[in-house]
Amino acid sequence: MFLGKYRHNLDAKGRLAIPAKFREQLPSGSVVTIGPDGALRVYPPGEWAEVTATLKLGEATSPTERALVRRLFAEAGEVEFDGQGRVLIPAGLRSQAGIAGTAVVSGANNLVEIWSEARWEALEAETADFTHLADEVARARTQRP
């Protein structure tokens, strides 16, 4: 389980330090790719296996799902840690996520998200009313069939 948030600066080469608590859970085979809401997502191998099992191109794949598969997998790359626990975030991913300077590395239970500092601060402002969020999620869950 990934918990907590950390602010780290990217170095001149686009490398980002990943917290030791997260590195312990991100073995070889972990994958970084684009995610919704303007963040990057880092998937441990088991989580990535679930994504690959559910998102495949086929004859009956809808146009929207085909587009999602193409973007998600085309932007994906394996995470490789250097000796200082940093990963190189490819320039294209950094650009799409708006990451320059400082990034927020956030635990999201089953995966890690990497946010630009500005987008993270906007998210915190938008979701400041935690009670409202919790109530809305509870209400939506009770309305499911």
CA distance 71 to 66: 9
Q: How many CB atoms lie within 10 A of CB 9?
A: 11
Asked whether the beta carbons of 56 and 9 are under 8 A apart, the reply is no
18 contacts: CB under 8 Å, gap ≥ 6: 8, 26, 42, 81, 85, 86, 87, 105, 112
Residue 9 has a pLDDT of: 96
Residue 94 has pLDDT above 90, yes or no: yes
CA distance 103 to 115: 6
Q: What is the pLDDT of residues 108-131, one digit of tens each?
A: 999 999 999 999 999 999 888 888
Q: How many CB atoms lie within 10 A of CB 94?
A: 19
Segment 79-99 shows an average pLDDT of 94
CA distance 104 to 124: 12
Question: Given pLDDT bands bounded at 50, 70 and 90, which one contains residue 58?
Answer: confident
Q: What is the pTM of this model?
A: 0.91
Asked whether the beta carbons of 105 and 9 are under 8 A apart, the reply is no
Segment 55-83 shows an average pLDDT of 92
